[in-house]
Amino acid sequence: MLEVVGLEEARTLVEKRFPFIRDEIETVRLHDAAGRQIARDVIATEGVPAFDRSTVDGFAVIASDTFGCSDALPAILELAGEIDMGGTPSCECAPTTCVRIPTGGQVPTGADAVVMLEYCEEYGDGTIGIARPVAPGENIVFKNDDVKPGEILIEAGTTLLPHHIGTLASLGFATCEVRQRPVVGIISTGDEIVPVKATPVASQMRDVNTPVLAAAAEACGALVLTFPIVPDDFEKLFASVEQALGICDMVLVSGGSSAGQKDNTALVLSALGDMLFHGVAVKPGKPTMCANVGTRPVFGLPGHPVAAYFMFLELVAPLLAPREQQTFVRASLSAGVPSNHGRSEFVAARVEQGDSGAIATPVRGKSGLISQLSGADGFFVVPRNCEGLPVGAEVEVRLFR
Amino acid sequence: MLEVVGLEEARTLVEKRFPFIRDEIETVRLHDAAGRQIARDVIATEGVPAFDRSTVDGFAVIASDTFGCSDALPAILELAGEIDMGGTPSCECAPTTCVRIPTGGQVPTGADAVVMLEYCEEYGDGTIGIARPVAPGENIVFKNDDVKPGEILIEAGTTLLPHHIGTLASLGFATCEVRQRPVVGIISTGDEIVPVKATPVASQMRDVNTPVLAAAAEACGALVLTFPIVPDDFEKLFASVEQALGICDMVLVSGGSSAGQKDNTALVLSALGDMLFHGVAVKPGKPTMCANVGTRPVFGLPGHPVAAYFMFLELVAPLLAPREQQTFVRASLSAGVPSNHGRSEFVAARVEQGDSGAIATPVRGKSGLISQLSGADGFFVVPRNCEGLPVGAEVEVRLFR
């Protein structure tokens, strides 16, 4: 029999044992790449900007031609031509001349600064009056100034956000290599569990865990396969988990691990592979376990939906998506939380913005049923062996979204 | 010619004018409902729990039968039967008897408390010794204690998170009515814009805005239609926007509004509908405009990709998804930000967790090209007419994810 482990220890055990859930790569269109994890570092193959670029609408000049000019004594420069937005400069900027240029236009050869339009006057005779001097480099971004070729722009494993898609687009990636989405199999077990469509009689419960865990795994970027509800029967659960392992990268079993008569999930996981831990010192969520089957994780999660969801977020989500995707908010407690001994405790909380920072208000219900989370924005963990948390204590709330 | 408006004013104008982008409803399977906005309030049709429920493994008793018992002098109760997880209680709890019950089991008629297993001893002769007294109600959640029938569990418009899916499952919703996803049309315009696949020559630029705005709109739950790049030509842009309006709930045009020679987007938007504003006092993002065409919004966004993305997040995202879906973090500045006059300013920032809260470090590049956002986690706004922000000032960073 394995020892009950702490929450942090459980997380470390699974993260060490399962660094990759699925490391195959696939190529997707850029349009389908948002939210996916990019497979390789993205190296700048081109510099940014690709040419010396004007940051204003105005006239490209040789800066020294403008030194000393003013409203009273403008520098008079001959207009040598005009830069089009989409074209190669068709003219150069020789001494005492200037070239009309739009924002984003390519600075013509010879010019080393751009004067903003508002400081220029067209005299109508092919000359331009410049009323403000510019320093060399003014209003220009030089080629490769922001990104040098060879620079890492996006690290492998990054979950692609809209601006990463923009970076890829700017580099000409019409397709992109991303990690394949891991396939997560979900199985609910328990004699009392009936399908969502059913009307429970007596102490039957609808299968809440399958849709909750499916939605949570999909939010982490996984593909989900759900399996039929399995009764409290060793052979049937063994067969179902084995079937799931044939087509999934990870299997989540919830229920079947009550402290009562039956603990089929533990028996099945032990029979299939090596148990990493069996029991986590956290409330709610104690009957949580993980086994290594081949190289794939099989989790036994609590039957209690809130506990199953919290343990998913704490132990399973880190294997599917980088921690950066989770949102934590530091907040002060609006009410004290009583002490607990020997076990960490999850407390659901509502988070509001107060005058001097975020405020977390614990949301508690006796049943701990999932509908009570409707009033909560996230949860925090009261550490193991902590003497309770007083009003005003700072907690780190993990938001559900 | 319309006045340039402030950022807050622009947001208020669009939110007031376009309270609903699309208010049609569709029915989806529960499995497909995560991330969607629920169409109607979800009312509890059943109470939670649906029956008096044990919160522990143990024996259901009449509390008064245990009063005064102890390790030394246990109360001896006759075992009247056992509650199965999935079944209706087949026995009652009469005075001086007890009933074995698992966690979650339905408390049998007669019992008013449950004694935890660890305080009970089976003598093997059909009697159980109880070593600790329980108070009436102890270890029981009574029917409807947490949720009363008729209570609002999820408000209309809520974006469904995994725990909401759980609430719906627990209530027996195998399908769910959600708001239809709005359809957003995206058009890039400008002579200098070439498709992502093309190799730009001279001052040409790849079309970064279409994929960025598509990913950003999809992240807000929209369906996206992208249209071909339109050159700087009034007739062509007019035709393209008109075509898009035929099939979209909202149209985003980016580019075509440089302060230079051409401002086709403004001309087209004015020709098609009523301009709400033309120009926003924010840097970068000034050439932003919005028109009401019929009852649909058409935005003109800047050609500059960072500005287009930020303006999307500030003005367009609030119409597509509730603000709760955006994540803000309060952080202290690790470096001062210079003053600006008359315009709000967007500053991209990296956010790290410091010892005493989050730290925001401004990320700046001269070109303001989108690849520089790769090092940033979000952005904050320096208010209009602010004297700059000193080191340590608190800012509210809007995270990109």
Residue A63 phi, psi dihedral angles, 5° rounding: -50, -40
Say whether residue A43 is in contact with chain B using an 8 A CB cutoff. no
A253 and A319 within one domain: yes
Residue with tokens 């065409």: B293
Question: B50 and A200 in contact by Cβ < 8 A?
Answer: yes
Look at residue A167 and tell me if it is in a domain.
yes
CB atoms closer than 10 angstroms to residue A363: 17
Tokens for B14?
């669009």
B332 and B213 within one domain: no
What's the pLDDT score for residue A340?
A: 67
Question: B218 and A50 in contact by Cβ < 8 A?
Answer: no
Tokens for B285?
């993002």
- Least Cα separation, residue A133 to chain B (angstroms): 21
Confidence of residue B212 (pLDDT cuts 50, 70, 90): very high
What's the pLDDT score for residue A46?
A: 76
Least CB-CB distance to A87: which of B88, B199, B202? B202
What's the pLDDT score for residue B366?
A: 64
A275 and A193 within one domain: yes
Cβ-proximal residues to B394 (8 Å cutoff; 6+ apart), any chain: B330, B331, B332, B333
B267 and B361 within one domain: no
B317 and B202 within one domain: yes
Q: Average model confidence (pLDDT) for chain B?
A: 90
Chain B residues within 8 A of A48 when measuring between CB atoms: 367, 369, 371
CATH number of the CATH domain containing B356: 2.40.340.10
B286 and B192 within one domain: yes
Residue B185 has pLDDT above 60, yes or no: yes
Say whether residue B372 is in contact with chain A using an 8 A CB cutoff. yes
CB atoms closer than 10 angstroms to residue A375: 14
A162 and A37 within one domain: yes
Say whether residue B204 is in contact with chain A using an 8 A CB cutoff. yes
Question: A49 and B167 in contact by Cβ < 8 A?
Answer: no
Peptide bond into B49 cis (omega under 30): yes
Q: Is A93 exposed, middle or buried (0-12, 13-18, 19+ CB in 10 A)?
A: buried
* Cα dihedral across residues A153, A158, A162, A165: positive or negative: positive
- Say how many domains are in chain B: 4
Indicate the residue among B325, B357, B374 that finishes a domain. B325
* Averaged pLDDT, A108-113: 96
* Averaged pLDDT, A232-253: 96
Is the CB of residue A344 less than 8 Å from the CB of residue A295?
A: no
Look at residue A316 and tell me if it is in a domain.
yes
Model pLDDT for residues B283-322, shown as the tens digit of each residue: 888 889 999 999 999 999 999 899 999 999 999 999 998 7
What's the pLDDT score for residue B139?
A: 92
Say whether residue A91 is in contact with chain B using an 8 A CB cutoff. no
Tokens for A140?
């220009």
Q: Which residues of B214-228 are buried (b: 16+ CB within 10 A; e: fewer)?
A: bbbbbbbbbebbbbe
Pairing status of strand B357-362 against strand B328-333: parallel
Amino acid at A295: T
A291 and A310 within one domain: yes
Helices (H), B107-262: 162-170, 209-219, 234-247
What is the percent of chain B with per-residue pLDDT over 70, rounded to a whole number?
95
- Least Cα separation, residue A358 to chain B (angstroms): 9
Amino acid at B377: D
Q: Indicate which of B59, B161, B306, B311 best probes the interface with A, i.e. most A CBs within 10 Å of its own CB.
A: B161
3-state helix, strand, coil in chain A (%, to 5): 20, 30, 45
Higher pLDDT, B34 or B55: B34
Look at residue A146 and tell me if it is in a domain.
no
- CA R_g for chain B: 31
B258 and B320 within one domain: yes
Spatial separation of the C-alpha atoms in residues B340 and B184, rounded to whole Å:
34
User: What pTM value is reported for the model?
Assistant: 0.84
A222 and A311 within one domain: yes
Q: Indicate which of B103, B212, B327, B396 best probes the interface with A, i.e. most A CBs within 10 Å of its own CB.
A: B212
CB atoms closer than 10 angstroms to residue A150: 9
Question: A104 and B192 in contact by Cβ < 8 A?
Answer: yes
Pairing status of strand B120-122 against strand A205-206: unpaired
ipTM of the complex as predicted: 0.84
Look at residue A2 and tell me if it is in a domain.
no
B residues 160..199 contacting A (CB < 8 A): 160-174, 190-199
Helices (H), B97-233: 162-170, 209-219
Spatial separation of the C-alpha atoms in residues A302 and A305, rounded to whole Å:
7
CATH number of the CATH domain containing B96: 2.170.190.11
B226 and B200 within one domain: yes
Look at residue A280 and tell me if it is in a domain.
yes
Spatial separation of the C-alpha atoms in residues B370 and B115, rounded to whole Å:
63
- Least Cα separation, residue A144 to chain B (angstroms): 10
B232 and B297 within one domain: yes
What's the pLDDT score for residue B371?
A: 81
B residues 137..166 contacting A (CB < 8 A): 141, 145-147, 153-154, 159-166
Model pLDDT for residues A358-396, shown as the tens digit of each residue: 899 998 766 667 888 888 999 999 988 788 899 999 999
Q: Which domain holds residue A43?
A: 25-47+151-179
What's the pLDDT score for residue B146?
A: 76
* Averaged pLDDT, B329-335: 91
Least CB-CB distance to A206: which of B170, B194, B400? B170
Model pLDDT for residues A24-72, shown as the tens digit of each residue: 999 999 999 999 999 999 998 878 788 898 988 899 999 999 999 999 9
CB atoms closer than 10 angstroms to residue A144: 17
Confidence of residue A246 (pLDDT cuts 50, 70, 90): very high
Indicate the residue among A325, A357, A383 that finishes a domain. A325
Look at residue A334 and tell me if it is in a domain.
yes
Is the CB of residue A401 less than 8 Å from the CB of residue A327?
A: yes
Question: B166 and A370 in contact by Cβ < 8 A?
Answer: yes
